[in-house]
């Protein structure tokens, strides 16, 4: 078996690369361990808490005990299914702030500034504003990925935006356009009431061209001969075999599995490889380092009126929502329920937002357990640019063993003050007039939790991952000893091998990572094909004119 290109991982970036290579007439094999995305739990947006907790669809990773979070192990879901994590995520669509990408370029990712990536965001999306306004000039009209907005017919969803404005923050009608900062409508990869994953958007049409074959198998390592990647060793149906790549092998296996595969293939810190008896092909100390994520808290408030989604939180209610969705693709099941959001700055002197809000018109946990209190609402809130860094490393040389994932969450002192700020700002927003008709008592953290020490104890016990791991195969200048790939996604020190997924992000972006991961795949495809990158787009983002002196 062989092809021009082997792509490891049918996730957000891998599907996009497969589509663009197929479009150019190349023969591609995509290796994916997971199976089909068929089934209502993945397709129905309202069922999002199920797939990420199902062994069938999720790799089931967890972090090492995190010392600053009381030794808790945090779940680290990664998609093990066609579409990868885009088939099990919350479907939230956030490009990231313009300044995130300018920072990437400053960190050595030449050619990845906002002016460089904006054309790829436009190329990848078909944007549906659904009557909510927005920045049409900044958006894509004919890309494979459908992006839409929820109906926002729940009064709590609208109250959140009104409360933000009452508290003195900006409103924005398109945080993916010119102005990220402010309160406004959320966007999602939902189309006609169904999840629109990278598989549906990219891989399915790519397979239809006849140029792409999907092989279900477990990737063991990249075969590297005389410093060049020539194929991929996989296990399928109990047998180990090698698939040949006449041009390149492209790892798009996630920020957890891509560094793991590099290490198993002999690319990484020499001492770590020797420790596990792996022959060193390229000594790249940065492989597995620079691991980042977003943490968040769920700030929950009881509702005094039965306006939340809690009314569906019983057997009959869920059956009703499920049936309505199955037959009409409408109703609560057709939304991920994240329909309002905000991006704000934590203090004066912060140039662009460093706090994100997901607002939800029900008090519930990500694993689907509702607050015992009944009707309520909540905001997921967390800092965007934590200074904490962790690492992915091998536990053994056996490819079957899960890697060691250590985020080192909350290891920087600024993380604690940032999170306390998040809680206090949220309480202020929930205290505004817009919420007065609905506001009951605070469920979590609870009105009694006020001092820094009390808040820190709450954070230690309740901070959860937002499931945005990235950074573990950092992109940078070819001369940077800690960089793993150069700005064309080529692994430094090995010919014919690239990494293109969220692992190459030098620094985590503002917001959810599916959109930047797909953009990475789109841009990487042009580098792989040796094409001239799309012309730069110098549209200037809105930056708060008083950011130096004002928090809002």
Task: Tell me the DSSP string of 191-207.
Answer: ETTEE--HIIIIIHHHH
Own/partner pairs, 105-112, CB within 8 angstroms, 24+ separation: 107/476, 107/506, 107/507, 108/475, 108/476, 108/477, 108/480, 108/483, 108/487, 108/506, 109/475, 109/476, 109/487, 109/506, 110/477, 110/487, 111/487, 111/533, 112/475, 112/487, 112/523
Phi, psi for residue 463 in degrees, rounded to 5: -60, 135
Q: Is 510 helix (H, G, I), strand (E, B) or coil?
A: coil
How far is it, in rounded angstroms, from Cα 73 to Cα 390? 14
What count of other Cβ atoms lies within 10 Å of the Cβ of residue 40?
A: 14
**CA–CA gap between residue 81 and residue 532 (Å, rounded):** 33
The whole-angstrom separation of Cα 354 and Cα 234 is 41
> Over 386-431, what HEC string results?
CCCCEEEECCCCCCCCCCEEECCCCCCHHHHHHHHHHHHHHHHHHC
Binding-site residues for FAD? 81, 89-92
Report the C-alpha gap between 47 and 42 in whole angstroms. 7
Question: Do 95 and 212 contact (CB within 8 A), yes or no?
Answer: no
Q: Is 468 a catalytic residue?
A: yes
CB 522 within 8 A of CB 20: yes
Among the listed residues 146, 294, 375, 468, the single catalytic one is 468
Residue by residue, DSSP assigns 35-76 as B---SHHHH-GGGTTTGGG-TTTB--EEPPPBGGGTTBPPEE
Contact 59, 232 (CB under 8 A): no
DSSP letter for 303, please: E
CB atoms within 10 A of CB 134: 23
Annotated catalytic sites, by residue?
468
């Amino acid at each position: 078996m062989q092809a021009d290109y082997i792509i490891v991982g049918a996730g957000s970036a891998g599907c996009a690369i497969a589509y663009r290579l197929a479009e150019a007439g190349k023969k591609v094999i995509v290796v994916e361990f997971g199976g089909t995305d068929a089934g209502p739990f993945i397709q129905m947006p309202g069922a999002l808490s199920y797939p990420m907790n199902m062994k069938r669809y999720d790799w089931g990773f967890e972090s090492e005990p995190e010392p600053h979070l009381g030794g808790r192990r945090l779940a680290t879901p990664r998609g093990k299914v066609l579409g990868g994590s885009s088939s099990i995520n919350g479907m939230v669509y956030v490009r990231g702030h313009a300044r995130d990408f300018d920072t990437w370029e400053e960190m050595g990712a030449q050619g990845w500034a906002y002016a460089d990536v904006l054309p790829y965001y436009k190329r990848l999306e078909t944007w549906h504003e659904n009557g909510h306004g927005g920045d049409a000039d900044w958006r894509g009209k004919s890309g494979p990925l459908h992006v839409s907005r929820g109906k926002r017919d729940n009064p709590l969803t609208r109250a959140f935006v009104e409360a933000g404005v009452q508290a003195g923050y900006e409103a924005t009608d398109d945080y993916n356009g010119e102005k990220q900062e402010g309160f406004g409508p959320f966007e999602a990869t939902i189309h006609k009431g169904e999840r629109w994953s990278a598989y549906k958007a990219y891989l399915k049409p790519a397979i239809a061209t006849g140029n792409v074959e999907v092989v279900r198998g477990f990737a063991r390592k990249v075969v590297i001969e005389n410093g060049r990647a020539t194929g991929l060793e996989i296990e399928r149906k109990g047998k180990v075999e090698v698939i040949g790549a006449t041009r390149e092998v492209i790892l798009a296996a996630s920020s957890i599995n891509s560094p793991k595969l590099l290490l198993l293939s002999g690319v990484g810190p020499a001492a770590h490889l020797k420790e596990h008896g792996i022959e060193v092909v390229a000594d790249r100390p940065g492989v597995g380092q620079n691991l980042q994520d977003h943490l968040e808290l769920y700030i929950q408030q009881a509702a005094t009126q039965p306006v939340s989604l809690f009314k569906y939180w019983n057997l009959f209610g869920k059956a009703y929502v499920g049936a309505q969705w199955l037959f009409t693709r409408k109703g609560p099941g057709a939304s991920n329920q994240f329909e309002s959001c905000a991006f704000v700055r934590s203090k004066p002197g912060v140039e662009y937002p460093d706090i994100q809000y997901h607002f939800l018109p029900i008090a519930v946990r990500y694993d689907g357990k509702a607050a015992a209190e009944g009707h309520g609402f909540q905001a997921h809130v967390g800092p965007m640019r934590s200074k904490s860094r962790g690492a992915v490393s091998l536990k053994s040389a056996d490819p079957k063993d899960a890697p060691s994932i250590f985020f080192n969450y909350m290891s920087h002192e600024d993380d604690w003050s940032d999170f306390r700020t998040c809680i206090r700002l949220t309480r202020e927003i929930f205290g505004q007039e817009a919420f007065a008709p609905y506001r009951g008592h605070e469920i979590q953290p609870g009105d009694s939790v006020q001092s820094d020490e009390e808040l820190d104890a709450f954070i230690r016990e309740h901070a959860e991952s937002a499931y945005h791991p990235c950074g573990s195969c950092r992109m940078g200048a070819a001369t940077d000893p800690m960089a793993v790939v150069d700005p064309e996604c080529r692994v430094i020190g090995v010919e014919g091998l690239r990494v293109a997924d969220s692992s190459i992000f030098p620094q985590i972006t503002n917001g959810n990572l599916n959109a930047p991961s797909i953009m990475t795949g789109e841009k990487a495809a042009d580098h792989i094909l040796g094409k001239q990158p799309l012309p730069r787009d110098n549209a200037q983002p809105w930056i708060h004119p008083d950011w130096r002196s004002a928090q809002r």
